[in-house]
Amino acid sequence: MQYVVGFLSGIIDRLAGLTGNYGLAVIGLTVAFRLVLLPVTIIQARSLQAINILKPEEEKIRKKYKDDPERLQLEIMDLYRRHKVNPASSCIVLAIQMPPLMAMIQALGANEALTGAAFAGLTLGQPGGWVMAIVAALTTYLSTKFSPTMGAAGQQGQAQNVMTIFMVGLMFYLGWKFAAAVSLYIITANLLGLVEKFVVPQPQIGPEGLRPSEKR
């Protein structure tokens, strides 16, 4: 992890040399980072959308076989198999994304050159304060609000609400406690994530299972 942190910190310095500003360097690296993760993000988004589409069918199966747990599990597995959906894929993708995301935050916090660097009235190496914390939390909430599975009912909906509260609280804490550069990264990443959510095609159910729609 330390090697990755040092590598990312070096890229920030090089981008700052090219742009003449560490704030622009952070934004540029965030954009590049999101582009690298875009294929993974698309897989996750499509998986979440597909699971959400199939949720009504799953609920019917749960009601029909509520007294037969073994048959219930088989029917649910068959539902996802027929539509070529792996319900665990979104969790796997999220797990893949977490280490590089943490490395990025560590790199921004450890880069000494950011200590006195200024951008948009902020000192990037100093905590961004309440304003940056609130903006980081707000953009996180908006990014979560437009998640493909938001608005689900039952236990899934409750789990989503808990996850939303946790993520918003975590981003607020990071924005308040850590350097403003971290807040800038979080805000930029969230805004790019919102754009991605409107760009990724939503899958539709066809005769051969779920497939991405050609237009939204």
Per-domain boundaries in the chain: 2-54+85-201
Q: How confident is the model at residue 207 (pLDDT cuts 50, 70, 90)?
A: very low
Q: Cα(21)–Cα(181) distance, rounded to whole angstroms? A: 12
Q: Cα(31)–Cα(45) distance, rounded to whole angstroms? A: 18
Would you call 170 exposed, middle or buried from its count of C-beta atoms within 10 A (0-12, 13-18, 19+)?
Answer: middle
> What is the reported pTM?
0.75
* Cα angle, residue 142 at apex, residues 155 and 139 outer, rounded to 5°: 130
Which two structure tokens, joined as six digits, stand for 212? Answer: 């991405």
Write out pLDDT tens, residues 107-165. Answer: 887 788 888 888 988 888 888 889 999 999 999 998 877 765 554 444 555 666 777 88
Which two structure tokens, joined as six digits, stand for 66? Answer: 């509520």
Q: Cα(19)–Cα(29) distance, rounded to whole angstroms? A: 12
Q: Which amino acid is at 1?
A: M
